[in-house]
Amino acid sequence: MIKAIIFDLNGVFIQSPYLSDRFQEKFGISAEKFLPVLKEIMAKARKPNADNSFNYWKPYLKKWGVELTEKQFFDFWFKAEKKAPEMIELAEKLKDRGVKIFILSNNFIERADYYKKTFPFIEEFFDKVYYSWQTGFVKPDPEAYKKLLADNNLKPKECIYFDDSKENIEVAKKLGIKSFLFEGIDNIKRLLKENELI
């Protein structure tokens, strides 16, 4: 019997254009230059006790000739992110049905703080939110999933997991969690109906 649904956050409940595309369009920094830097910085910023993530970006912004203050940089990044109303409605429906719902997200503190102020539904509808900057486990590390299961006394077979990353899905599957690639609201509703959750 399914007792809980675990969701990724970005790309599922919060949608946004790729930051690399926006940097190319606004500042002329190619994705080839930008993406390796993003990957390198996120590997540090998503962990507990990380420095303010803007400090990781400053040398690169200077190198690229991009003049942004910390506030301007985070505003440029975060304010392009929008909630997905149909997904929020679905979360509310699941909550009303007594299904436990969780967020498992690779995220850093500045972004999580912005979400807390801007997207109150995250704390309102979910039983618990697991951010990597708090847990220390960055997906696809199996420990990220194991911690959520252990904290909530759940067995892998009692959970369904949705993420927009194939790599994350594969790791969760290996742990015995029924896992699906997020491909939009219609597909997710179909899968939940098949499992008699809505």
* Percent of residues, the chain, with pLDDT higher than 90: 95
Task: Please determine, for residue 196, whether its predicted confidence score (pLDDT) is greater than 90.
Answer: no
Q: Would you list the domain boundaries of the chain?
A: 4-15+83-194, 19-78
What is the pLDDT at residue 198? 84
Q: Which CATH class is domain 4-15+83-194?
A: alpha beta
What is the pLDDT at residue 181? 97
Are 45 and 53 contacting, i.e. CB atoms less than 8 angstroms apart?
yes
DSSP string covering 137-181: --TT-HHHHHHHHHHTT--GGGEEEEES-HHHHHHHHHTT-EEEE
pLDDT single digits (tens) 34-91: 999 999 999 999 999 999 999 999 999 999 999 999 999 999 999 999 999 999 999 9
> Please, which pLDDT band fits residue 106 given cuts at 50, 70 and 90?
very high
Q: How far apart are CA 188 and CA 10, in angstroms?
A: 15
